[in-house]
Structure 1
Amino acid sequence: MNENGIELSVIVPAYNEERRLAPGLRQALEYLARRREPFELLVVDDGSRDETARVAESFAGQGVRVVRHERNRGKGAAVRTGLLASRGRKVLISDADFSTPIEEIEKLERFLQDGTPLVIGSRGLADSQIRQRQPFYREMMGRTFNRLIRLFGVRGIRDTQCGFKLARGEEGRRIAAELKIEGFAWDVEMIWLARRRGYRIAEVGVVWVNSPDSRVDPIRSSFSMFRDVITMRLRHRGER
């Protein structure tokens, strides 16, 4: 246990999530209470224009902390803020809709216990369970992006973009201090930086349920992510 006594920090970046946030937080908090270990759940409100912060703050007495950005900066910026504010020996990053059920952390923890500093949930492995699929065009765009990432970004990872990732707290905070990408490609940079530091990475198949109420424009976000990855590669030119 670390000096703060917090075993697990759960980081939830959120932007305009007033409708989806409460059910996910309730389920997560019920599960975390059953684990009987000290935890904190950090909701990072990324400059939402709705009542996201108010919804999150309504759970404040149950171990939830809310950190707010004054303006919308991007998911990567929210993840970085959450990681740097975290105090747990382990840090879990989860999407606000909990499309991967929080119970799936147990699959990832096995690798952390074996000394792997970063474990990423994946929708692209044989044992991944997709219980509700995305529309076909979204799946095709996601596969195309992951192929491009393997060429230009990080090799050997089938799914960089699943929003469910677990790290040892110290290593997660070290990586966060170096994160530059503020948009949706933050996952790629996180993996890149972990490899540059020599950290082992495990990719683990998880359960994933598509949320039909997705806020992401797949065309716009794909171009933006690819641009960010190219910028990252240019910034680290000559490194592997």
Structure 2
Amino acid sequence: MTQPNRPSPGGPPSLAEPRPAPVVRSAALPARDPLPATAGGPGGAVLDVVVPVFNEQDDLERCVRRLHAHLSATFPYPFRITIADNASTDATPEVSAALDEAFEEVTAVRLEQKGRGRALRTVWGHSAAPVLAYMDVDLSTDLNALLPLVAPLISGHSDLAIGTRLAGGSRVVRGPKRELISRAYNLILRAGLAARFTDAQCGFKAIRKDVAGTLLPLVEDTGWFFDTELLVLAERAGLRIHEVPVDWTDDPDSSVRLLRTAADDLKGVWRVGRALATGALPLERLRRPETERSYGVPAGLVRQLLGFCLVGAASTCVYLALYALLRTGAALGPQPANALALLLSALANTAANRRLTFGVCGRERVLRHQAQGLVVLGIGLVLTSGSLAALDLAVRAPAHGAEVAVLLTANLAATALRFVLLRTWVFPEQPPRQHNALARSPR
């Protein structure tokens, strides 16, 4: 880490928050390689553990001494512990300065503004360690999970690692109120942002420095939602997130304001979801060159199928509502009503699938995609119109209920065909770029 001056008697030196780097649509991240034994350089730290604090004069010394003793006894690489003081108003700066003087591996810095996310962004942005981590000062998480947390990052297996209290193998002691809030929040993340990680709020996370350098400029939050936003963007970019079941004991004296934090988190979920839906985030600059596929299932198929089903369900409801409105309100015949309802719902369907299902951002090829979507619409129109024509031939003056039932069945068949055409023709997956050994392989 870039060392600040040694602390003055009044407390640790201030560390200015780095300005966010301009978001440039550059190349993807390099290949994820294991860190060499000399990754930290001569005398440099391989791991930098950040402890964000605000008015923690009573718990800080106990936490840092225990963490230092654990790392000294169990961690095989050079390490650093950074105390990030978030504008504390009690004796926390003096305690931080004393710990900085007492231990060579401890560095105390001070930020003049509050915010856990701001502290992590600032310290991680200045750190030179190839692996960056943080944990809460209350040490609710058992420290025996620290080495399993950072080992996949050092070995090159994963990009980020998180402790989870909601996975099998975790042992958690906490009250029903916090348990309910935590599980409800993760359900919101799964429903609203399609998150697959199990625990966003556990204060026990790590990230590789190269990933942090590219990912942090995209994260806007400076408070408690910071790490949730970090994980959502990393997951959407296809980065690998390793989860470690932890033993966790609730701190009854925690200073976190649950209601205010929950409200801020919901605002963050809305903001991030809107940015992902509109393609405002250049996630392509976070993707690794190697493709990580599971055998037998094409990459992204499950996620794309889920997104397509959600968009298709909404589009089907809109289509049926429009058809009923045009048939009864506008008094149109079945064929014109079907064609117009299908056209209006399909335009929105193509746009939604382009952004949400297949992750195509920006305006490039948007007209071409809409034109191809209209071709797919034509195929659906043939199926549904043919079904109506067959119904008219079989039953003279069919009831509206029969028309709707036939249209629903035909629309489901058209929907399945639409997914295949969208995936293979309209939004085909780009072939992966050859890289390193793949480019040199005779195969």
- After superposition, the C-alpha distances for 1:100-151 in whole angstroms (9 at most, x for unaligned) are 1333112223432252111111000011111x31x21222112111111111
Flag the structure with higher helix content.
2
CA distance in 1, matches of 2:192, 2:92: 35
CA distance in 1, matches of 2:197, 2:191: 11
Flag the structure with higher strand content.
1
- After superposition, the C-alpha distances for 1:164-191 in whole angstroms (9 at most, x for unaligned) are 0122222133322332111111121111
Residue of structure 1 aligned with 2:69, choices 19, 22, 30: 30
Residue of structure 1 aligned with 2:148, choices 107, 119, 122: 107
Structure 2 unmatched runs, 5+: 1-38, 280-355, 357-443
Q: How does 1:1-240 map to 2 (within 5 A)?
A: 1-3=39-41, 5-34=44-73, 35-61=75-101, 62=103, 63-72=105-114, 74-112=115-153, 113-130=155-172, 132-133=173-174, 135-239=175-279
TM-score (norm: length of structure 2): 0.51
CA distance in 2, matches of 1:11, 1:145: 25
Structure 1 unmatched runs, 5+: none
Amino acid at match of 2:218: E
Greater shift in the superposed pair: 30-39 or 74-83: 30-39
CA distance in 2, matches of 1:219, 1:186: 17
Amino acid at match of 1:145: Y
Greater shift in the superposed pair: 85-94 or 190-199: 190-199
| Deviation beyond 3 Å, 4+ runs, structure 1 | none
CA distance in 2, matches of 1:55, 1:12: 13
Which of these two proteins has the greater Rg computed from alpha carbons? 2
Amino acid at match of 1:116: S
> Residue 349 of structure 2 aligns with which residue?
none
2:145 touches 2:244 (CA, 8 Å); kept in 1? no
CA distance in 1, matches of 2:110, 2:134: 17
Aligned residues: 237
TM-score (norm: length of structure 1): 0.91
* Higher RCO (CA < 8 A, seq sep 6+): 1
Measure how far apart 1:36 and its partner are. Answer: 4.8
Q: Secondary structure at the match of 1:58?
A: helix
C-alpha spacing 1:49/1:37, structure 2 compared with 1 (3 Å)? same
1:154 touches 1:188 (CA, 8 Å); kept in 2? no
1:101 touches 1:208 (CA, 8 Å); kept in 2? yes
Measure how far apart 1:222 and its partner are. Answer: 0.6
2:195 touches 2:235 (CA, 8 Å); kept in 1? no
C-alpha spacing 1:110/1:66, structure 2 compared with 1 (3 Å)? closer
